[in-house]
Amino acid sequence: MRGRRPGPGGSAGGRWRLRNWRLRTKVGAVLLVPTLAALLLGGLRVQSEIDNANNFHRTVAQVDVARQITEVVHQLQKERVLMVTGAAATSSAAGSPLATQLDRTNGAIAELRGAVAKLNLPDAGAMDRYNRAVDGLTTLTTLRVLAQRGVYPDNALFTEYTSVIDTLVQVGREVTAAAGTQELSRVSTAAQTLDSAKEQIAQLDALLQIAAAHNSFQSSLNQDRARSSNAAFTASVTDFTAVANSQERQAFSDGYSGSDVDADHLIEQSALLTASPTAPLNIDIHAFTTASTIANDKFHQVELGLIGQLRAQASALAGDAAAAAGRDIAALLGTLMIALGLMLVIAWSLLTPLRRLRLEALDMANVRLPQTLKRILADEDPVEAAKNAVDPVSVFSREEIGQLARSFDLVHDQAVRMAVDQAVLRDNVNAIFVNLSRRSQVLVERQLSELDRLEQNEQDPDQLARFFVLDHLATRMRRNSENLIILSGTGLTKALVRPLPLAELVGAAISEVEHYARVKATGLPTALVHGRAVKDLIHLIAELLDNATTYSEASTTVTIAARQLRGGQLAMQISDSGMGMTTDELDAANHKLADPPDFDVTVARRMGLYVVGRLAQRHNIKVRLRSGDFIEGGTKAVITVPADLLAPPREEDARVDTPLVRRPTRLEETQPDLAAHVPVPAQNGSSLFRPPPEPKPVKEPEPEPTTRLPIYEEVLSRWFQPVVMDEWPVDEPDAPPLPALPIAELDPVETSLPPMKPPPAPVNRHESWISPADEAWLTVRTKLNGPAAEQITAVGLPKRVPNKHLVPGSAAPRSAAPEVQETRPPQFPERSPETTRSRLSGFQRGLGRARRHALDSTGDDLAETRG
């Protein structure tokens, strides 16, 4: 059963497994195996040659020993002749040539002992036979003493000397057994046959010396011995002739010939031809001794010559073997060097392109390819940017490594092609997002417009509250649609022409949050934000507020505070008391806020964080999350707005510190200049955006301070303070009309975040502007606050008397007023508090429309001025 393949970080087995070997190790192993095999075979060959050389050297040493043995045998043969001759003649050997011969024999034996001592043979049996042969020569001392004393007869001495000589002749045959070649064996056999032939002719000469001393063989035994030796001599010479080559036979014929040899053979044949053992031989002992001695010396020279030839051949073979061993060693070392060089060349040819391929592949995967893909994805024309986007791997061979490099190039090209497809797909998805979002925005804006119209005409407070809920939900839907536009990389199309106070900006952001009632704005400075960043900053704050209210308990409050820094920046902090975030989560979130990642599925799951990062990056706004206090917990979001996004503050802007507990005012309700950017449905179902007119680079007019009239202060105080509704007969047909409000002098900040703090006392404002209508208005207020008891109706409302409460100077009297018939005032039904509240809400909406109309007119005038 096959096991699971390990992943990138999984285990691939032990380091000694073949598949985990490095390529350099594998190449070394591949080349090392045949190298070791060649080294082994070459070593065996060299060892064989060395062994052959050693064997030939040992053969040479054995030939040298054989030469010494031959010399000892030759001297013993001469000593035997002298010993048996003296024993047969019953004469003492003292003072005769015997003593000289004994010295020669002893000298030859000493040299033989030295040669055998130097001999080092691996065959223990051969060494033992050499040692026993040399040790057997010690018996000569006893034999010589007894022979000189006459104890041994001639035939006995012949037998003893022959026994010692035969032992040495047998040891001499070890050379034949040790011969390493057929040629050496042949030459050694030829030399051995000559040794045997010489021993046989020497035995014959010794027997004839005994017979010559007695002038007969004396017995048939002696005669038979002589004839056997002669036959053995003839047989040995025949064997030599069969083994020896022509040169060796010629050397034998040339060396063992002459008158002395012929005289010796003639005497021997004459003696052997006698019929009776007792027949007289009549041999000239002196002539026979001289002839036999010269003949044996010549035979010995032929023998030494053949042994010398054997030694020369063994030495030549030893030298050839040594030379062959040296040649094999040199060849082996040369082969190893060549193999090593070839191994290095092959390894270099394999490892260098592979190393280059690996380094360039890693550089491609980690550096060049991501940069190329990022550049392609960021390019407006990814198809054109993808051409020649990635350089090929610089391995251009035709073998497998070059083919692998081309495969990497194909992989890189495929990655680039996928990046192009991804870029095209992303553009298509972004276009789909933008299209869907703008379609949704068209519907949402139409829904908001419809809700505004319904709210303006609705008198039922409960129904109006439901409209407010729908209005808020639609605002949140619009924010989600804008998130899709931001995810697509497209900027929000809405932008303001003039700066917006921070209080209104925060209020607009709070209006887009689901749990807006839990948000408390505190400590907002009198700062103005440039129109180009208002919409994005509102969206950014709304996302952070929505996140804070979502991940905190419903019973807690989310606060937003702001402060102007010394460097001119604006710092805002949003604090909640939620569960908080771990250090790793904060680090990851801050990293994404500082460098928003590319859009993918994970981004879609945390869309708010991505949107905040994109918006902050667009305007160089810094957003950072940090943990709350140790006791309160939660999370704090710090927003740092750069100074270039802030406009100089106006004098009449005041700080606000109020919790919002009702539906906050949307940005469109206080900034009518956004109407130019509202998407308008097109005929084909798509959405067309009316961009704002391109303003000319003119300086924005400084906002002038607003001076409030006493009449405005009165209306404002009576609107935001509880009053007794029944004291104002608003439904009487003859009630005095409300005075016209100076719309141009209204402060647009006053209704951005209701309810407001009570306005400051208007004493100083009266000093700056006193109108003639002020005294009349004070008179009206006095009369309204203190009606006479008899003027109150049964239901508690004051009675209205026509023309009784006219304000002086408000209207000129008619010259001929028609006579009015006095009639009884109509009886009005009792009005409930809900009806009164509805009426007052209508008044508030009318006031808001008037303000929007005034701001719209101001914005249009400003746009025309800039245009």
The number of helix segments (H) and strand segments (E) in the chain equals: 25, 11
Write down how long the chain is.
867
CA distance 386 to 566: 48
CA distance 305 to 291: 21
CA distance 355 to 352: 5
Could you give the maximum distance between any two Cα atoms of the chain, in Å?
A: 223
CA distance 472 to 162: 145
- What is the separation, in whole angstroms, between the first and last Cα of the chain? 81
More confident residue, 817 or 310: 310
Single-letter amino acid, residue 279: A
Q: Select from 578, 575, 580 the least CA-distant residue to 523.
A: 575
pLDDT tens digit sequence for 542-595 = 999 999 998 889 899 999 999 999 999 999 999 998 888 889 999 999 998 988
CB 538 within 8 A of CB 505: yes
CB 859 within 8 A of CB 498: yes
Residue 202 pLDDT exceeds 60: yes
CA distance 452 to 441: 16
Beta strand residue intervals within 108-263, DSSP E: none
Q: What percentage of the chain exceeds 90 in pLDDT?
A: 12
Task: Put residue 335 in one of left, alpha, beta given phi > 0 → left and psi -120 to 50 → alpha.
Answer: alpha
Instruction: Provide the mean pLDDT of the chain.
Output: 75
Indicate the helix (H) or strand (E) that contains 560. Answer: strand 558-564
pLDDT tens digit sequence for 719-735 = 344 333 333 333 333 43
Residue 700 pLDDT exceeds 50: no
Q: Select from 561, 549, 557, 548 the least CA-distant residue to 522.
A: 561
3-state secondary structure of 704: coil
CA distance 188 to 306: 8
pLDDT of 6 reads 54
pLDDT tens digit sequence for 143-181 = 888 888 878 888 888 898 999 888 888 887 787 777 778
pLDDT of 682 reads 35
pLDDT of 129 reads 86
Q: Select from 735, 841, 836, 732 the least CA-distant residue to 780.
A: 735
pLDDT of 672 reads 46
Mean pLDDT, residues 96-116: 88
pLDDT of 658 reads 40
CA distance 130 to 116: 7
* Token pair listed for 464: 């109006």
CB 467 within 8 A of CB 454: yes
CB atoms within 10 A of CB 84: 26
CA distance 678 to 444: 10
Please state which of the ranges 32-36, 373-377, 493-497 shows the lowest mean pLDDT: 493-497
Residue 690 pLDDT exceeds 80: no
Residue 59 pLDDT exceeds 80: yes
CB 550 within 8 A of CB 513: no
CA distance 799 to 531: 53
Sheet holding 570-575, edge to edge: 622-629, 633-641, 570-575, 558-564, 519-524, 656-659
Buried b (16+ CB within 10 A) or exposed e, 365-376: eeeebeebbeeb
Sign for the CA dihedral angle at 841, 504, 491, 428 comes to negative
Residue 637 pLDDT exceeds 90: yes
Strands 687-688 and 622-629: unpaired
